[in-house]
Amino acid sequence: MQIMTLETISPQMQASLASSDFSSLTRNFEQKTKSTSLQPFVNFRGQMSVGDIFFPVQMFSMREEGKFTYLQNYPEKLFPKLEIILEEKNLELQVKEFAVRPFNNSVEEEISYTRFFLLTSEVKKCSLHIKDADIPPFNFSFAEISSEVKKQVIHQAKLFRKLGFIEFLFKIKFDVPKEISPNDVRQIEILFRGLTEGEFSAPLGDSITVFNYKLNKSDLQNHLTSQKREFSFEFNEDLLVLGKFFPIGKMSFKMEKASIANPGVVQKFKENETIPSLRLNIFDYQVSHRFEKYSDAERLSKNKQKLDQYKNTLRKDEPSFLINLFDEPLAEIDDKSAIGIVEGLLQYYGFPDRFSVLKPKLEKNRWRVPIALTYPKYEPIWLEDAFVDVRTGKVKMKISFNELLKKGKKKAKEVFSIA
């Protein structure tokens, strides 16, 4: 998923005023704050709250133009930019627009933005308290946001909290770009998990490309260039994440179910020569990673303590459901990837073309992927369901792939003997 950051204003929140008596809010406010001014608006100190969580006090301004009242804050102390337009109808105020966006391109601001957005979407109400004046608060209530919007903001919340920990650990600051590409997201996840786990497996897609690969004898043998086998690589270079290099030391990759995707290119080179790029098919999408430096028990323990320390700083300002996002992967398996994984495994185990994958169905945290025999002019003949974990991409099935192949061949004979 590509992340849109500062330059893309977040989806507007559908809000309404719970207390919307025009006279008790704006007119009372004007009476208490009215004075000669060089500005066409009134300034005041205000504080937003969501449930029992109060955010830092901010400077706000309010101005009226005809039937419209415009409210906005001047962000400070890590709080997002709010722009609220109220419209007077029959002496009542209605919310015409409620927009929230990060104030600048920092990781901390993105964290504060997702915090406010997800809290209000969870509680479905918030209040603007007027400081230094005996005026009732503006109480806003919110409609349910779409699942797609919530999924997008949760994804941002996970990503920027992990980036926040990386900043905390290395004592640096990222300059957040306008857009964060899927490759950037993958690099962030690899670095975060390497620092906090040392060794892990993650789904990286159906292929991977390595550069400046030195060919060995087995790579050049005709019967091996397209063979399905295990591949492993070691890298001893800094890891690039959002324009910064991190000295992670030696990192190893291992793919247990893979093959060379471009064997024809390999045949043009000789043993010990370096091929500029080598692309590998990954049938099950799984790549095992090992960070040698951070696999050390003592160093890994220190990093986990640092992570707990960073979580505790966030816990002062946000509830547990946001802290728990650290435990969730940045890239989850969608329906297309679930199909690709099961189809890849069928290919890896040498299944004939008539074994097909049908439309997956999401069940909690896993995809149910039906495997069936398909023939022209016949309805699919269901054989077995494979279950693909949404978070890890790993596959479980009640029977083995060898047993599935035997079952399919037997079923085919039974069906067509009857036909």
CA distance 125 to 120: 6
Q: Average per-residue pLDDT in the chain? A: 87
| Full-model pTM | 0.85
Residue 261 has pLDDT above 90, yes or no: no
pLDDT digits 0-9 by tens, 186-245: 999 999 999 999 999 999 999 999 888 888 777 776 555 567 888 988 989 999 999 999
Amino acid letter, residue 80: P
Q: Which residues pair with 281 in a beta bridge?
A: 207, 259
CA distance 236 to 412: 51
DSSP one-letter code for 21: B
Q: Look at residue 40 in the predicted model and tell me its pLDDT.
A: 55
Q: Look at residue 385 in the predicted model and tell me its pLDDT.
A: 97
Residue 287 has pLDDT above 90, yes or no: yes
pLDDT category at 367 given cuts 50, 70, 90 is very high
Residue 1 has pLDDT above 50, yes or no: no
Which of 143, 109, 161 has the alpha carbon at shortest distance from 325? 161
Q: What are phi and psi of 345, to 5 degrees?
A: -70, -35
Q: Look at residue 78 in the predicted model and tell me its pLDDT.
A: 84
**What is the sign of the dihedral through the CA atoms of 234, 329, 203 and 239?**
negative
Q: Look at residue 215 in the predicted model and tell me its pLDDT.
A: 82
Residue 10 has pLDDT above 60, yes or no: no
Residue 310 has pLDDT above 90, yes or no: yes
pLDDT category at 138 given cuts 50, 70, 90 is confident
Q: Which value, to the nearest 10 degrees, does the dihedral of the CA atoms of residues 175, 177, 183, 189 take?
A: 40
DSSP one-letter code for 10: P
The structure tokens listed for 386 are 């494979």
Residue 63 has pLDDT above 80, yes or no: yes
Neighbours of 264 (CB within 10 A): 9
Residue 347, classed as helix, strand or coil, is helix
